[in-house]
């Protein structure tokens, strides 16, 4: 049998946690009146902007929903990016202690190991756990422990300060982390509400990260179009772009990305579930690959989107039949932030 190593570069920690983790956390905290109300009014305005209708929070807090299973089903029910983002941020309220965070890490890594991953670049929305009152030092210590484990998959952590908290908060968080260690994270990105918190506002944050030796990715070209991507490229010069699929709307942008060989972190199921594209045939993967742009295939938040990396490969091959499984596996490794020697070893060794 041909050996194809498995790895991905765009995977959010809480988004990859097994459903059993969420069910256990809901059961653990169900009696608390503030289960899904940990947010101050000011913070709530930043996390759940006025564009969000709030159906998930209202449903979760309504008296008609009682069992953990029903709450879990509501958490994973959405039809737009806004609803997904609201659901995702809401699940942060289920991680309330250093012990909760430790189990989140260990159960997620165990799940990835069971799925056969060799490596994963895992994005950690650290601000959301700080919001829940978990000390920064405790979070960083748990991340170091998870990385130091000899069990596969090999993990690289990407810091996401979450753009909804603002650029100054992102800069302050990064400086606090660097005072502890420059080796907890390998890269930085920003996720969240791309429309209300544009990427260029975080240029100084990314500059600080680059000066500290961290690689740069940024969520862009997901809910916003090419104009926002151009601003991000000009102000931030990312090493990779998270999603980036809206680049297909601008031939000059496609040409630029191909010329500079800037990889895109494509997440097909994610884009379908959040309504970025109405159907699979509308995903412009063929246009992007045909332009000569490096792409990676990723699950993004596989538990939220009910997908696997194998499923993402199948979707990609249905759009681009010329891409083989070997091609797709290698693309994920080649665009990764793995050290060169480790990349080569993982590619060669079953």
Which pTM was predicted? 0.93
- CATH number of the structural domain 7-17+94-348: 3.20.20.140
Per-residue pLDDT, averaged over 13-27, amounts to 95
Q: What is the per-residue pLDDT for 286?
A: 97
Percent of the chain with pLDDT over 90: 72
Q: How confident is the model at residue 73 (pLDDT cuts 50, 70, 90)?
A: confident
Cα–Cα distances (Å) from 8 to 19, 79, 97, 332, in that order, read 20, 25, 28, 6
> Is residue 318 scored above 50 in pLDDT?
yes
Nearest to 6 by CA among 285, 244, 298, 291: 298
- 299 alpha-carbon distance from chain centroid: 9
Q: What is the per-residue pLDDT for 226?
A: 97
Instruction: Summarize pLDDT for 198-252 with one digit per residue, the tens.
Output: 999 999 999 999 999 999 999 999 999 999 999 999 999 999 999 999 999 999 9
Per-residue pLDDT, averaged over 56-68, amounts to 63
Q: How confident is the model at residue 42 (pLDDT cuts 50, 70, 90)?
A: very low
Q: How confident is the model at residue 40 (pLDDT cuts 50, 70, 90)?
A: very low
Q: What is the DSSP secondary-structure string of 110-123?
A: HHHHHTT-SEEEEE
Q: How confident is the model at residue 1 (pLDDT cuts 50, 70, 90)?
A: very low
Per-residue pLDDT, averaged over 285-300, amounts to 97
Per-residue three-class SS string for 209-224 = HHHCCCEEEEEECCCC
Q: What is the per-residue pLDDT for 300?
A: 97
Q: How confident is the model at residue 3 (pLDDT cuts 50, 70, 90)?
A: low
**Residues 6+ away with beta carbon under 8 Å from 173:** 126, 127, 130, 159, 161
Instruction: Summarize pLDDT for 102-139 with one digit per residue, the tens.
Output: 999 999 999 999 999 999 999 999 999 998 899 999 99
Average pLDDT of the chain? 90
Of 222, 228, 265, 312, which one is the catalytic site residue?
A: 222
What are the domain boundaries of the chain?
7-17+94-348, 19-93
Rounded Cα gap, residues 272 and 278, in angstroms: 6
Q: What is the DSSP secondary-structure string of 186-205?
A: SEE---S-TTTS-GGGGHHH
Q: What is the per-residue pLDDT for 51?
A: 42
Q: How confident is the model at residue 50 (pLDDT cuts 50, 70, 90)?
A: very low
Higher-scoring residue by pLDDT: 170, 64: 170
Higher-scoring residue by pLDDT: 32, 95: 95
Instruction: Summarize pLDDT for 147-165 with one digit per residue, the tens.
Output: 887 788 999 999 999 998 9
Q: What does the DSSP 8-state code read for residue 278?
A: S
Please say if 312 is a catalytic residue: no
């Amino acid at each position: 049998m041909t050996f194809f190593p498995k790895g991905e570069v765009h995977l959010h920690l809480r988004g990859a946690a097994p459903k059993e983790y969420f069910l256990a956390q809901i059961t653990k905290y169900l009696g608390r009146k503030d289960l899904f109300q940990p947010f101050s009014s000011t913070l709530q305005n930043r996390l759940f902007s006025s564009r969000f209708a709030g159906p998930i929070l209202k449903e979760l807090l309504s008296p008609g929903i009682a069992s953990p299973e029903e709450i879990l089903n509501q958490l994973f029910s959405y039809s737009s990016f806004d609803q997904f983002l609201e659901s995702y941020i809401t699940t942060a309220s289920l991680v309330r202690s250093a012990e909760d965070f430790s189990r989140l890490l260990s159960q997620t890594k165990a799940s990835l190991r069971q799925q056969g991953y060799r490596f994963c670049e895992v994005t950690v929305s650290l601000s959301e756990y700080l919001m829940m009152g978990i000390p920064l030092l405790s979070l960083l210590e748990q991340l170091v422990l998870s990385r130091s484990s000899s069990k596969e998959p090999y993990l690289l952590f990407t810091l996401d300060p979450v753009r909804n908290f603002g650029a100054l908060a992102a800069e302050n968080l990064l400086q606090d982390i660097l005072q502890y260690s420059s080796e907890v994270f390998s890269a930085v990105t920003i996720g969240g509400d791309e429309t209300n918190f544009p990427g260029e506002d975080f240029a100084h944050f990314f500059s600080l990260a680059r000066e500290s030796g961290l690689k740069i990715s940024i969520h862009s070209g997901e809910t916003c179009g090419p104009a926002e991507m151009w601003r991000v490229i000009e102000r931030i010069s990312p090493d990779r772009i998270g999603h980036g699929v809206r680049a297909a709307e601008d031939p000059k942008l496609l040409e630029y990305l191909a010329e500079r060989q800037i990889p895109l972190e494509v997440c097909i199921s994610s884009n379908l579930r959040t309504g970025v594209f109405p159907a699979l045939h509308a995903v412009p993967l063929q246009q992007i690959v045909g332009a000569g742009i490096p792409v990676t295939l990723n699950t993004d938040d596989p538990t939220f989107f009910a997908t696997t990396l194998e499923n993402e490969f199948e979707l990609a091959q249905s759009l681009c039949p010329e891409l083989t499984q070997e091609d797709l596996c290698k693309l994920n490794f080649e665009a990764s932030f793995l050290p060169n020697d480790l990349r080569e070893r993982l590619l060669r060794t079953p």
